[in-house]
Structure 1
């Protein structure tokens, strides 16, 4: 299995006619927590396939959902991957959207591991 086929584990066949951003990115906004976890685990592949103009509209909302997820595992993974692509996010998005959600996750989580990372 190639890296490109790693995301096809969702029961979706690869479509060469449809672009990645048209086919997969809308799924990010509706994904269950389990699929959200898989997308986070494959963030490097997701970012290589996502056009830079779609990162703010498709990938960031997924990251925001991950920070607000009830699963500590998802929150921890999200906090670990944010530094790997923070350079792709514009400053106003970091300041006005990402930082407040990170702060909220820190204040609301019962996990000491998350609180120590922040």
Structure 2
């Protein structure tokens, strides 16, 4: 599939990347639209983001596939996703403060983002 991959500071290349394979608790989304946020511009232009990442954390699309344990969504649902990927296990997550997670990831920064044809996200 095609994706916009950060190559270096100020350099993005639209190239072929592996199609995401979902786990049992994940949802595959066909990206319809993705916004370019100020944090994307900052990460692109300053070296804040690691080369090789597919950026893009503000997006919407349609569910293309669901894992066996993903029960809240079905194919064809129109969706978006919270870009914060919280561990669900630390004291902050257990208190519902996912934005303070000790092991937080972020779509488009630490995990492949939505400047691509498809993206996988946890249910």
For the aligned pair, the TM-score class normalised by the smaller chain equals under 0.3
- Could you say which structure has the greater relative contact order, defined with CA pairs below 8 angstroms and 6 or more residues apart? 2
TM-score between both structures, scaled by the size of structure 2: 0.22
TM-score between both structures, scaled by the size of structure 1: 0.22
More strand by share: 2
